[in-house]
A and B are shown apart, each in its own frame.
Chain A
Amino acid sequence: MTMTDPRPMVAPARTSTDLVRPDEGMISREIFRDPAIYDQELQRIFTRTWLYIGHDSQLRKPGDYLTNVMGEDPVIATRGSDGKVRVLLNSCRHRGMTICSTDQGNAKFFRCPYHGWTYSSEGPLVGVPRSADAYRNELDKTRLGLVEVPRVETYKGFIFASWDAAAIPLIDYLGRDQLWYLDIPIEGALGGLEVLGPTMKYVIPANWKLAAENFAGDDYHVLYTHGSAFQIGFLPDYDTLADYIAYFDHGHGMGDIPKPGRGLANDLMMAEHFGPEAVDYVKAYNQRIADRLSPEQAAVHGIGQGNVFPNLSWIKFGCFHVFGLYQWHPKGPGELEVWQTTFYDTGAPQHVKDYARSQMSQENAAAGIFGQDDGENFEKITESARGAVSRTLDFNYTMGMGHEGEIDEPTLPGRLGPHYSEQNHRNFYRYWRQLMTEDRA
């Protein structure tokens, strides 16, 4: 399929050095409200990075499909009759109508509701009503299949796509150091990870970056934003949960990384309340990490949360949490749609699954006691960037500047920082600026 390169645009001068100065810890509020900058983000960030699409467990059989969004471009991911997963732009090649309006299902073909052009689940245009008299058989169907996203790659069941045909391989984009940590929940799952029900969706009237940077390692906010959760005893003292944050190439970051040994000890303590079956589960999970990955990764056992640049966040902690993914879909500079998917270890004991599942709804989800307070922050910060005077001010991300690289933990990869630091935010915006201003990033 030929299509024009979606990446030829020139960066506006304003997004370069003056507005975003990560090395000084200063980020202008403009980038959270300017429609022109938002437009540049859609073109320069969301068409050049790898974006999460779905999981293999959602597309088991030929014809299985799900819908998602890349930036503001709606897409359909389908498994073709050849077994291959393709990601197709969800828009008719005739006059643009949405081809598929459902969340997921199974379809042999997609028929456009407007004039009935029909596409196979692999994308080619296979049927045009009244082709002979309406088009006098002159329509070249071979050039009018659904636009296919040029790159689709999977990492251990997690499907990503990129509009950049020349993008580096997914595994290099995610990077060895980040994957060292992300492999822990993926490989630790005794029965493998499986999607647990529908995608939860809700609106936050906020700029997408505020949610992404928060999950990239804003452990500092937990103390106060989520202070109520500590007061009611929903969580133990925060500093007993984790010690470090870390950032990686390509803007990725994570938070709530425990010192080696702490994660397993916490989980075993928790397992005592659940009984011997849960204790065995925690031990088997940890042993599996040691066997399949390394003893150093088993010593970490469980990491809190992170953000895969640009807009895929995740949460995990240890064995008593499900693995949750959040896509912060941008809907203009002042709004985002959260699409939240939850995975569990099919090999976990039933009562651990039950606990983890309801815990996730209670904690970091649409009605969860964490999610709603985070959303309120992002919303009000976005509002704060609107006023003619306010928008000329910078946000301050200077925490920990001049002290990066002081953590000495030789077994842990990535750029480690202390629990409370804005080094990961600075890393996020460094890569953001690079994509916004450079043609090759």
Chain B
Amino acid sequence: MTSQLVDLQREAELFLYREAKMLDNNRFDEWLDLFTDDARYWMPITESREVGQERGPVAGEWALIEEDKRFLLKRNERLKTGLAHSEQPRSRTRRFVTNIVATENEDGTVGVESNLLVFQSRRGSSEQFFVGCRQDRLTRGEDDWKIAERVILLDHRVLPRAISIYL
């Protein structure tokens, strides 16, 4: 591995760790600043199909999440209304981001793949895990990297509960 690639890898790892910490600590506005203004956030639905009849997520089909920064801002705004009942009180969350691999794309952006394990504890004893992988496309801004695209592929066929937290 060239030292340039090692630097890239290291930088990507630090970026994702810092990002995870913001979410674990409910610093949602700061987190959203990590996205470019035209960012795309997509979480398709996982299917269970026979070997040989699998199909990947299809753009244009409906998804668990398909939105832009404008709506992510609305989600943040909603959390502040005091009426977002599914997050009143806030869930306690802990994110584990692993298996990070960063690659330089031809257009100068950086592709980062990672595995994701999120623990959510709600109210008293309601607890669940969300597991999947992320495929991020990052751009280098003036002083920091930004997320231009995030695709989250969850491994669950049946989600353990409605998604009220950011994954």
Residues of chain A touching chain B, judged by Cβ–Cβ distance below 8 Å, are 101-107, 196-205, 224-225, 227-229, 231-234, 322, 337, 342, 357-358, 360-362, 365-367, 369, 371-373, 375-377, 379
Contact = CB atoms under 8 A, between A and B. Distances in A.
Contacts of B157: 103, 201
B49 A337 contact: no
Contact of A103 (B48, B65, B74, B85): B48
Interface residues of B, number: 36
Contacts of B126: 205, 379
B161 A203 contact: yes
Nearest to B128: A203
B66 A361 contact: yes
Given A342-B62, A365-B64, A107 B83 contact: no
- Majority secondary structure, B binding face: loop
Contacts of B142: none
B50 A105 contact: yes
Given A361-B62, A372-B163, 10 more contacts: A102-B48, A197-B61, A198-B45, A198-B46, A200-B64, A204-B161, A225-B85, A228-B81, A373-B85, A376-B162
Interface in B61-99: 61-67, 71, 74-75, 77-78, 81, 83-86
B5 interface: no
A206 B50 CA distance: 31
Contact of B161 (A104, A198, A202, A373): A202
B47 interface: yes
A202 to B, nearest CB: 4
A55 B43 CA distance: 24
Residue in B49, B50, B86, B160 whose Cβ sees the most chain A Cβ within 10 Å:
B86
Contact of A337 (B50, B65, B158, B163): B158
B164 interface: yes
Contacts of B62: 196-197, 200, 322, 342, 357, 360-361
Contacts of B78: 228-229, 231-232, 369
Contacts of A360: 62
10 contacts: A101-B48, A200-B62, A202-B159, A205-B126, A232-B81, A358-B66, A367-B164, A369-B84, A372-B86, A373-B86
A365 B75 CA distance: 14
Please list the 6 inter-chain residue pairs (A to B) with the smallest Cβ-Cβ separation, ordered nearest first: A197-B61, A202-B159, A372-B86, A367-B163, A228-B83, A372-B162
Contact of B58 (A197, A322, A367, A373): A197
A358 B67 contact: yes
Interface in B100-134: 126
A103 B46 CA distance: 10
B53 interface: yes
Interface of B: 43, 45-50, 53, 58, 60-67, 71, 74-75, 77-78, 81, 83-86, 126, 157-164
Contacts of B58: 197
A398 B71 CA distance: 38
A366 B162 contact: yes
Contacts of A102: 48-50, 53
B81 A204 contact: no
Given A228-B84, A373-B85, A196 B158 contact: no
A227 B81 CA distance: 9
A228 B77 CA distance: 9
A103 B162 contact: no
Contacts of A377: 85
A71 B48 CA distance: 21
A103 B63 contact: no
A361 B161 contact: no
A191 to B, nearest CB: 15
Contacts of A367: 43, 64-65, 162-164
A201 B85 contact: no
A337 B162 CA distance: 11
A199 B158 CA distance: 10
A362 B126 CA distance: 24
B122 to A, nearest CB: 8
B73 to A, nearest CB: 9
Given A105-B49, A229-B78, A371 B162 contact: yes
A197 B59 CA distance: 10
Given A227-B83, A367-B65, A204 B47 contact: no
Nearest to A65: B50
Contacts of A107: 50
Contacts of B160: 202-203
B66 A205 contact: no
A369 B78 CA distance: 9
A361 to B, nearest CB: 5
Nearest to B78: A228
Contacts of B43: 367
Contacts of A231: 78, 81, 83
Nearest to A227: B83
A233 B62 CA distance: 23
B163 to A, nearest CB: 4
Given A106-B53, A205-B126, A369-B75, A200 B45 contact: yes
Nearest to B65: A367
A361 B67 contact: yes
A375 B86 contact: yes
